[in-house]
Amino acid sequence: MDVWEFHPALVHFPIALFLGGVLLDLYAWGRREDLARIATGLLLAGVVAGIFAALAGVVAFYTVPSSHTEEAHHLVLWHIGLAVTMFVLFTVAAIVRRRREPAPPTPAIRILGLVAAVALLVAAGLGGRIVYHGGMGIDPKILVPDLHEHSHGGGHTHEGESPSRHEGHEH
């Protein structure tokens, strides 16, 4: 496993914990406030897992091979910005919730969790686009020739277009 591959291997844990915490909290809201404590625990576990995923993301940013599209190179900055925003929002929500226990979370803190979840989904979607459409972190030897020609390395110039997977290939 290459060092930049630790981020995609770890990032699914905080995603699952954060989204699970928000969904459980939505279910608990007004019905089963005892489940809100479990949701808080999931959010706190997501923060801990998120620290490791974020550290792996920093390592990936500086070590990933340069054989990716120019679009991926630009989108990764949006991915990082959204991921940091989401992580800060979830961290604040989890800490405030924990400090208020055993009282249930306030509506404002629950809404903050929902906003963080939306930011998480957008950041995750961008992460998928960066890898699956832009080739970031993929071994250049297995890429189609069009992607090689439009990659971020090798001295090529770009016009910001994402290459078509089937363009110029006979089937």
Read off the pLDDT of residues 24-39 as tens digits, 9 standing for 90 and up: 999 999 889 899 999 9
Q: What tokens were used for 153?
A: 């390395």
- Nearest-CA neighbor of 37 among 94, 89, 86? 94
Whether the predicted pLDDT of 146 surpasses 70: no
Q: Where are the domains of the chain?
A: 3-138
**pTM of the complete model:** 0.80
On the CB side of 1, CA atoms within 13 Å amount to 10
**What residues contact residue 144 under an 8 Å CB cut-off, 6+ apart?**
165, 169
Whether the predicted pLDDT of 136 surpasses 60: yes
Three-state SS sequence of 97-135: HHHHCCCCCCHHHHHHHHHHHHHHHHHHHHHHHHHHCCC
Beta strands in the chain (DSSP E): none
Whether the predicted pLDDT of 145 surpasses 80: no
